[in-house]
């Protein structure tokens, strides 16, 4: 007894006072638990048993894609083989349970507007590499995506093969320039694959001023009307395109 009394005396007063709030908190917890925990808590597991009934009573809004097959088998068939095979019908058309019960009374919307598809396809650095992405500001602006891509079978349509299909601005500039009749490939040797996978197969860009000299040097065997310069003294310390924009060469 004397030993316990000794220990009690050794505990400082402020620690003893700390015991009061601790006891109060524990008491409050026990009381609250009694009043606030629902009576059917823990009947089946660590949850409220009647939650199951609550969930069952919620209206079912999604139907899953299997039902669509009953009435839209043509679309289901096409989508199954397409790049969108893993995108659920209802991801684009919204909850469809009511529609499957009464198709004419409950019409679904189709996302035909241009703003929709970029939700998944707008370029974002955090998307996995290889996921097909576009920059909608510059990818065929203003036209609806579905005017070129079938939403149920979104193959990339084949791009037209002329350079101007993808380099419209350069082509338009050149068409108004002195170089209108100099073809793109005269200056850019272009592998055929560039027109299909442009970033993987790049055309050559001129690196030597002699290329321009092939037409513009004093002794070049080109047509007479082409203006000539003395390659040895005309801007000799630079490549020509540091002073002349090759797609719109101007002298003044
Ligand atoms: C019981 C048959 C039935 C089922 C099941 C069904 N549909 Fe339909 N759906 C129809 C009919 C009929 C129409 C045409 C209604 C009309 O022309 O007004 C239609 C029209 C549509 C449209 C056209 C909307 C538009 O703007 O033209 C979409 C989208 C659609 N259904 C999606 C779905 C999806 C997604 C599913 C599966 C979750 C589904 N449907 C399941 C019968 C069905
Ligand atoms: C990537 C989004 C997307 C997915 C996934 C998708 N749809 Fe569509 N769906 C569209 C768009 C956009 C249209 C409008 C097409 C148009 O007007 O040319 C459309 C049109 C429809 C139509 C109207 C008839 C038609 O062919 O134009 C039906 C029916 C339909 N979809 C059913 C389905 C069903 C069933 C599925 C699943 C098997 C599905 N869709 C999956 C986007 C989608
Ligand atoms: C919910 C996300 C989602 C939405 C919305 C969506 N897509 Fe897709 N899209 C995908 C996925 C996933 C793929 C397949 C990617 C893969 O194969 O790696 C894909 C593939 C594509 C491709 C194929 C590119 C290629 O590799 O050739 C095109 C084109 C495309 N989608 C166009 C559209 C269009 C147009 C719309 C709007 C009607 C649309 N997508 C809406 C998820 C989506
Ligand atoms: C005028 C027709 C046209 C319109 C409109 C159009 N596209 Fe394309 N899309 C193409 C062509 C052609 C290609 C293939 C060549 C290329 O990559 O430019 C393509 C390629 C794609 C690709 C594949 C890119 C890749 O790297 O594999 C995706 C994804 C795509 N488009 C989505 C969209 C979306 C989303 C929209 C609407 C915001 C849209 N497209 C509007 C014609 C179009
Ligand atoms: C399908 C679309 C497409 C077509 C067709 C196309 N290009 Fe390109 N081209 C591109 C893209 C995309 C790039 C890369 C742009 C970038 O990376 O900034 C590119 C880049 C280039 C470059 C710069 C290469 C570099 O390394 O900087 C040249 C030069 C070029 N293209 C010339 C041509 C010529 C000449 C033709 C016609 C014979 C042509 N392209 C046809 C899409 C195309
Ligand atoms: C007279 C020669 C010549 C012709 C013709 C020509 N280019 Fe170029 N191009 C050049 C030179 C030089 C450069 C710049 C190289 C550098 O900066 O390293 C260039 C650069 C480019 C680039 C890189 C981006 C830029 O604007 O600098 C692209 C893309 C390109 N050319 C596409 C084309 C296309 C498409 C055509 C046809 C419509 C064409 N070129 C015609 C000489 C030419
Ligand atoms: C295939 C021949 C050819 C090649 C290669 C060529 N040009 Fe030209 N260039 C021409 C022709 C043709 C004209 C226009 C003559 C006319 O308007 O009568 C011209 C005109 C010019 C002019 C004069 C414009 C003016 O205002 O009078 C300049 C500057 C010029 N080229 C610069 C270049 C440069 C820089 C290169 C190399 C990147 C180059 N050219 C490559 C054929 C060529
Ligand atoms: C340091 C800038 C510079 C460089 C580099 C340069 N030029 Fe010029 N070029 C000019 C200027 C300025 C003029 C107009 C005044 C003149 O005729 O000297 C001109 C004029 C021309 C003309 C028109 C001559 C005429 O008689 O109308 C041609 C063609 C031309 N340059 C081609 C070239 C070619 C080809 C190269 C590369 C081998 C080249 N230039 C490099 C600045 C330059």
Residue closest via CA to ligand 6's atom 22 equals 205
Give Cβ neighbours of residue 50 (< 8 Å, ≥ 6 apart). 38, 40
The pLDDT, as a whole number, for residue 44 is: 93
Above 70 in pLDDT, residue 252? Answer: no
The pLDDT, as a whole number, for residue 1 is: 60
Nearest-angstrom CA–CA distance, 229 and 214: 11
Helices marked H in 135-227: 163-166, 168-175, 184-187, 210-216
The mean per-residue pLDDT over the stretch 153-170 comes to 83
The pLDDT, as a whole number, for residue 197 is: 83
Nearest-angstrom CA–CA distance, 183 and 187: 8
Report which of 224, 247, 251 is spatially closest to residue 177, judged by C-alpha positions.
247
Phi-psi region of 140 (alpha: psi -120 to 50; beta: other; left: phi over 0): left
Full-model pTM: 0.61
CB atoms within 10 A of CB 215: 16
Residue 103 CA: which ligand is closest?
Answer: 1
Give percent above pLDDT 90 in the chain: 68
The pLDDT, as a whole number, for residue 239 is: 93
Using the mean position of ligand 3's atoms as its centre, give its distance from the Cα of residue 196 in Å: 19
Nearest-angstrom CA–CA distance, 10 and 14: 12
The mean per-residue pLDDT over the stretch 175-204 comes to 92
- The residues pairing with 122 across neighbouring beta strands, listed in sequence order, are 134
Please work out whether the CB of residue 168 comes within 6 Å of at least one atom of ligand 5: no
Residues 119-130: pLDDT tens digits?
999 999 898 877
Averaged confidence pLDDT in the chain: 91
Residues 68-87: pLDDT tens digits?
999 999 999 999 999 999 99
Nearest-angstrom CA–CA distance, 133 and 131: 6
Report which of 133, 130, 81, 72 is spatially closest to residue 100, judged by C-alpha positions.
72
The pLDDT, as a whole number, for residue 52 is: 95
| Residues with C-beta less than 6 Å from any ligand 1 atom | 63, 67-68, 70-72, 89-90, 93, 96, 99-100, 103-104, 107-108, 110
């Amino acid at each position: 007894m004397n030993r316990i009394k000794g220990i009690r005396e050794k505990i400082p007063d402020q620690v003893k006072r700390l015991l009061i709030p601790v006891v109060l908190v524990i008491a409050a917890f026990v009381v609250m638990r009694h009043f606030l925990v629902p009576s059917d808590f823990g009947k089946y597991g660590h949850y409220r048993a009647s939650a199951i009934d609550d969930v069952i009573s919620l209206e079912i809004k999604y139907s899953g894609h299997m039902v669509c097959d009953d009435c839209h088998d043509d679309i289901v068939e096409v989508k199954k083989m397409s790049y969108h095979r893993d995108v659920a019908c209802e991801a684009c058309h919204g909850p469809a349970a009511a529609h499957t019960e009464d198709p004419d009374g409950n019409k679904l919307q189709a996302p035909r507007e241009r703003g929709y598809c970029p939700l998944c396809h707008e370029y974002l650095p955090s998307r996995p590499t290889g996921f097909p992405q576009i920059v909608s500001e510059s990818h065929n602006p203003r036209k609806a995506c579905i005017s070129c891509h079938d939403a149920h079978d979104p193959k990339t349509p084949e791009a037209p093969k002329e350079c101007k299909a993808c380099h419209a601005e350069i082509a338009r500039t050149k068409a108004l320039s002195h170089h209108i009749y100099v073809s793109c490939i005269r200056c850019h040797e272009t592998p055929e694959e560039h027109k299909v996978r442009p970033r993987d197969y790049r055309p050559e860009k001129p690196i030597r001023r002699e290329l321009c000299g092939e037409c513009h040097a004093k002794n070049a065997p080109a047509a007479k009307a082409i203006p000539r310069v003395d390659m040895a003294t005309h801007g000799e310390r630079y490549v020509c395109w540091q002073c002349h924009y090759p797609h719109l060469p101007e002298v003044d």
